[in-house]
Every structure is written in structure tokens, then in C-alpha cells.
Amino acid sequence: MAKSIAQEFTKGLWKEIAPFRLVLGLCPVLGVTTSMKNGIGMGLATTFVLLCSNILVSLLRKVIPSKVRIACYIIIIASFVIVVEQMLQAYAYDIYKSLGVFIPLIVVNCIVLGRAEAFASKNGVVPSIADGLGIGIGFTLSLAALGAVREILGTGALEGDIFGHLAYHVPNLFGASFEPFAFAIQAPGAFVCLGLMLCLMNLVPSK
Amino acid sequence: MGEMIKMVVVLTVLSVISGGGLKWIEEFAKPKIEAQVLENVKGPAIREILAGASNDPVESRFRIEDGEQEHTVFVGAFDGKADTVVLESEGRGYGGPIGLLVAVNVEKDQLLGVSVTTHTETPGLGAQAKDNPAFAAQFRGKPVDKPFAVTNDGGDISAISGATITSRAVVDAANRALTLYQNFKPQLTEEMQRAVK
């Protein structure tokens, strides 16, 4: 095997971090990152789907006929997305409401299908778990970072919790005279913030 | 030919397992989702149409059985007198089911108001059924003996422009609630006194 398990995991965190290095899966990246809380929620939901679909696709890779493989992957992915949707609705209703249509859209997230097709269908279960976790956590970090930048610019502060636990609160960073930069939390602001973050990341050379 | 059969078998087995599993998940999550919706969506909407009630309408609720279906009824008391019931209803909208709450004053046989709870209508068009209070306000104070209809169909509810299907769905849901009310009026009046302590 060319790469170790650790390498499969860490590549998703920086070298192939999906939204920034590969510029993939931008629909949720732009759509839900109006706050750090939403970004983390979306990231964790996607990570769960990615991990489960990677495991199942990898387990079934010898059984699934290649001609109908995409259909099989979509059945697997869609099932896990429905599980996530139901669970969020049952246990984290506010996150479910603020993510709205973006939860069912995980089905067509090209990162999830991409990892199933490009990685899990060709590798064993353990590397697939490492790959799914790495890419998923990288995706979560990207969404959280972009959400944090937009929330700070747009409201001056950070506030929220992760599924009702781990509440965080960063008070107004710029003092009382701060005028909220509402552009940052509107849709065009998402493109500008993403562009600036891409630009910053490209300043760091990737080997 | 062998490959063909394998494709069919694999896809079928996968779909069956997935469908069965999801059914199980749904059964498991259903009561919890209902509790969440009651707390986060219906609760505020019920308290809004029964603004000024002297009891907590979400607490004073009971169930009635209509054949195989069960309906939850919320009771509103004004000045300590229980005289309003809130019925849940559903209509088929453009993007999926539209949940509607219909409040009826039992003594005057009049509609106190309606409120859209859950929906998946188009933002800016159908979603106005919930977002624009003027649409729901048209139902306020209407008598219950006559079914509603949008103006296009000869009624007196003006539809949301660009969202006729949504408007019809809301009207339809309101009519369903009225039918339920008419059929169960004796039972409702009896039980509502018991529900409010």
C-alpha cells in the first residue's frame, strides 16, 4: 500500500482539504456558513454521511456490479442522509431548521459521491474510514472557519453551541463603535470571504 | 445474462434493506420529532392565534378519534371560560404538505383564525401563506357553516398572487378542519371543558 493510514487521514485536513484545495462541495460551503454554529452542524452531518457511506461502499465493493455502481452509491448515501435528517429533526431541531434544504442536498454533495467512487470503491475498510474521517473533518473545519469569519465580520461576535453542548461565546471583538458589516453574512459576502480565504491559503505553498 | 441478473439482484436487495432500515429509523424518530415540532413550531403558533388566552393551550389538549385517524385538539380559555378549540389540519401544497392550525370559537361558531405551521412552499411565493399575515387574516371571524374557496373558485378568500396552488391547499385544509369540527362538535364541547382545569 502506497500510503499509511495516518496519511490517508491527514491528507483531508490540509493537502486535499475539500472546499479550499479542491474547491469542491461549494453549495453548502457558501449556503450555510452564515454563522460558525451552522457551519459546524453542516460539517458534522456531512462527516457522518461520508464516514458511513465510505464504510458501506468499501465493504460492498466486490459485490456491486460496476455498471450500476453509481446507483448503488446513491442509494447508500441517500439512506444515510435521511438518517441524519431524522436524527437532527428529533434531537437538534434548531440546527435542522437553520440548515433547512441543505441537509437533503448532502445527497448530491460531490465530495461524498467523489470519495465513494474515487477512494472507498478501490480500498479496504480501514483506509476508507481514515479517508472519510479526514475529508469530513477537513470539510467541517473549512465550514467552521468560513462561518466564523463571516459571523465575526457580520455581527462582531461569535455565539452558539454544538448540538446543545459546548456552548461558546466570544464577545464583541471590535468595541462598541463597530458597525456590523452585514455584507459578509449575505450571499455575495460568502463568495468574497471564500475567495479571500482561498487566496490566503494559496500563499502557503503546498508540496 | 448473468451480469444482468446480478445487477437486478444487487440493486433490489440494496433498496429493500435501505427502505426497511429507514422505516425503522422513522418509527424510532417519529415521537421525538412530534415533540420537537409541538414545542418549536406549533406551540408558538397556537399561542399566537389564541393570544390573550387565560390558560396554556398547549398544555390543555386532548385527542379525538375519527375512524382510524387521531386528531389533537388544543383548547383556549378566555377569562377562565373555555370556548375555543384549535384543530390541526393538512393540505396538499405545491412543495408538499402544508400544516394548518384552525381556531374555532365554539359558542359563536366562528373562526378565530388560522395559522400555517409546517410547509415547504417556494420562498417569496407560496411561503407568503405563512410569512404574510394578511393572507391568514382573511379567515378571521368567518362563520363555520360555509366552506371556504378562493376568489377564482367563487369564494371570498383572495389567493396569494403566483401561488394559487398553495392558497387552494390552505383553503382545503381549513375546510377539512371545519368538516371535522362539524362532525365532532358535541364531543369537542364536552371534552374541552374537561381539558381546561
Q: What is the pLDDT of residues A56-74, one digit of tens each?
A: 999 988 888 888 889 999 9
For position A84, what pLDDT does the model report?
Answer: 92
Rg of the Cα trace of chain B? 20
DSSP letter at B113 equals E
pTM for the whole thing? Answer: 0.74
Residues of chain A contacting residue B11, judged by C-beta atoms under 8 Å apart = 68, 71-72, 75
Is residue A36 within 8 A of residue A148, CB to CB? The reply is yes
- For the four alpha carbons of A55, A59, A61 and A67, in that order, the dihedral sign comes to negative
Q: Is A82 an interface residue toward B (CB < 8 Å)?
A: yes
Taken as a whole, chain B contains a residue count of 197
Give domain status of residue B33, yes or no.
Answer: no
Nearest CA in chain B to A72: B11
* Residue among B190, B189, B42, B186 nearest B102 (CA): B42
For position B39, what pLDDT does the model report?
Answer: 80
Mean pLDDT of A25-54: 88
Give domain status of residue B125, yes or no.
Answer: yes
pLDDT at residue A18 is higher than 80 = no
Mapped onto helix, strand or coil, the DSSP state of residue B103 is: strand
Return the amino acid letter for A176: A
For position A171, what pLDDT does the model report?
Answer: 74
Strand partners, B63: B72
- For B38-67, the pLDDT digits (tens) are 888 777 878 777 777 777 777 777 777 777
Minimal Cβ distance to A72: which of B14, B21, B25: B14
Rg of the Cα trace of chain A? 18
Give domain status of residue B19, yes or no.
Answer: no
Q: What is the ipTM of this complex?
A: 0.73
pLDDT at residue A180 is higher than 80 = no
For position B56, what pLDDT does the model report?
Answer: 74
Lowest mean pLDDT segment, chosen from A57-66, A122-131, B184-193: B184-193
Give domain status of residue B11, yes or no.
Answer: no
Euclidean distance between CA atoms A28 and A71, whole angstroms:
23
Q: How confident is the model at residue B131 (pLDDT cuts 50, 70, 90)?
A: confident
Nearest CA in chain A to B7: A65
Return the amino acid letter for B146: K
| B window 2-31, beta carbon within 8 A of A | 3, 6-7, 10-11, 14-15, 18, 21-22, 25-26, 29
Closest-CA distance of chain B to residue A16, Å: 31
- Residue A55's CB: how many other CB atoms inside 10 A? 18
Calculate what percentage of chain B has a pLDDT beyond 90. Answer: 11
Closest-CA distance of chain A to residue B73, Å: 22
What are phi and psi for residue A86, nearest 5 degrees?
A: -65, -40
For position A158, what pLDDT does the model report?
Answer: 77
CB contact under 8 A, A67 and B36: no
CB contact under 8 A, B36 and A89: yes
pLDDT at residue A47 is higher than 80 = yes
Is residue A85 within 8 A of residue A96, CB to CB? The reply is yes
Euclidean distance between CA atoms A22 and A18, whole angstroms:
5
Range of the domain at B120: 45-195
Euclidean distance between CA atoms B52 and B44, whole angstroms:
13
Higher pLDDT, A183 or A207: A183
Closest-CA distance of chain B to residue A46, Å: 18
Those residues with Cβ within 8 angstroms of residue A176's Cβ, 6 or more apart along the chain or in another chain:
none
Residues of chain A contacting residue B40, judged by C-beta atoms under 8 Å apart = 93-94, 97
Give domain status of residue B110, yes or no.
Answer: yes
Return the amino acid letter for A207: K
Work out how many domains chain B is built from and give that number.
Answer: 1
pLDDT at residue A122 is higher than 70 = yes
Euclidean distance between CA atoms A105 and A28, whole angstroms:
8
Mean pLDDT of B9-25: 92
For position B152, what pLDDT does the model report?
Answer: 82
Is residue B113 within 8 A of residue B133, CB to CB? The reply is no
Residues of chain B contacting residue A107, judged by C-beta atoms under 8 Å apart = none
Euclidean distance between CA atoms A70 and A76, whole angstroms:
10
Indicate the burial class of A44 (C-beta count within 10 angstroms; 0-12, 13-18, 19 or more).
buried
Cell of B72: 389533537
Give domain status of residue B14, yes or no.
Answer: no
Q: How confident is the model at residue B25 (pLDDT cuts 50, 70, 90)?
A: very high
Q: How confident is the model at residue A156 (pLDDT cuts 50, 70, 90)?
A: confident
Give the E-state strand segments of B106-165 in sequence order: 110-116
What crossing angle do the helices spanning A69-91 and B2-37 adopt, rounded to 10°? 10
Give domain status of residue B77, yes or no.
Answer: yes
Strand partners, A190: none
Euclidean distance between CA atoms B164 and B70, whole angstroms:
29
Those residues with Cβ within 8 angstroms of residue A136's Cβ, 6 or more apart along the chain or in another chain:
A12, A43, A46, A47, A48, A50, A51
Give domain status of residue B38, yes or no.
Answer: no
